[in-house]
Amino acid sequence: MATSEYADFFWESSEGLKLHARDYAGAADRPAILCLPGLTRNARDFEPVAEAFAGQWRVLALDFRGRGESDYAKESDSYVPLTYVADVLALVDELKLDKVVAIGTSLGGIVTTLIALQRPDLFAGVVLNDIGPVIESEGLERIRDHVGHGRSFPTWMHAARALRDSSQAIYPDYAIEDWLALAKRLMCVGNNGRIAYDYDMKIAEPFSDPAAAEAVDLWPAFEALGGRPGLVLRGELSDLFSPVTFAAMGTRLAGFDCVTVPRVGHAPTLAEPEAQAAIARLLGRVLAA
């Protein structure tokens, strides 16, 4: 039976940052589900996954450094994928996790692929949520325009309405209660009593150089995930992950299913029925492997 109850787990990075994960208990004879969030997201982003699968599966939902309840880094140049890889592997080693099923949203999917290059036997299964080896410039520019500006709001309803105004093209069918729920995953109440995004604004600094993303060929890292049960989700309206790249991944990643989540952009929240059904099928394949 699924459960939304969790314990807070903390571990340390190599330089002593205190990092946080939500640990939802589950069956010890199955691989843990390891949830890696997007650039500005946090462990709360995976509440729909925990509500659907925790109890049957152990679910570990991480806050990358600089997000949620994890410490902020002293230097912004550590807010890069290879550092997140080291942080995640420190958690894997501390918990002695031999096998995991990774669910990586956007940045979390890139971190997943880089882990596969270092620990190819770690993953019993993989879910990539709206991310591929070719990242569309339109989506990147939209994200750069919104990240790191430090906006704050007096009430949760103000926050929800602002989120709706900036992101209605991503979730066109959302009602105000949906925007309110999303705001409470993305934001928190600060020390000054105002509501603000729950991340260090300095995460935008390494991300601000367009040339850096274009200089890296990510196909070898993504192809390292092939040969095991896998799933690629694409939001039908995504501006970051094109249909062309999505189709190419279906051809080049052996063992991966490709599923379109209708009427959402970047990125599906994983509460969508199509996403949850696809994840359930993937987990069934992991058990049968």
Q: What is the pLDDT along the chain (289 residues), one digit of tens a residue?
A: 566 799 999 999 999 999 999 999 999 999 999 999 999 999 999 999 999 999 999 999 999 999 999 999 999 999 999 999 999 999 999 999 999 999 999 999 999 999 999 998 999 999 999 999 999 999 989 988 888 888 999 999 999 999 999 999 999 999 999 999 999 999 999 999 999 999 999 999 987 765 555 567 899 999 999 999 999 999 999 999 999 999 999 999 999 999 999 999 999 999 999 999 999 999 999 999 9
Asked if residue 63 lies in contact with residue 35, where contact means CB atoms within 8 angstroms, the answer is no
Asked if residue 261 lies in contact with residue 234, where contact means CB atoms within 8 angstroms, the answer is yes
- Cα distance between residue 163 and residue 160, in whole Å: 5
Query: Thinking of the domain 7-136+214-288, which architecture would CATH place it in?
Result: 3-Layer(aba) Sandwich (3.40)
Q: How far is CA 269 from the centre of its chain?
A: 9
Asked if residue 129 lies in contact with residue 237, where contact means CB atoms within 8 angstroms, the answer is no
Q: pTM for the whole thing?
A: 0.96
Q: Which two tokens stand for residue 289?
A: 């492997």
With tokens 């009427």, the residue in question is 263
Identify which of 259, 256, 264, 257 has the alpha carbon closest to the alpha carbon of residue 235: 264
- Cα distance between residue 122 and residue 193, in whole Å: 42
DSSP-assigned beta bridge partners for residue 149: none
With tokens 């996403």, the residue in question is 275
Asked if residue 112 lies in contact with residue 4, where contact means CB atoms within 8 angstroms, the answer is no
* Longest pairwise C-alpha distance within the chain: 51
Residues 6+ away with beta carbon under 8 Å from 165? none
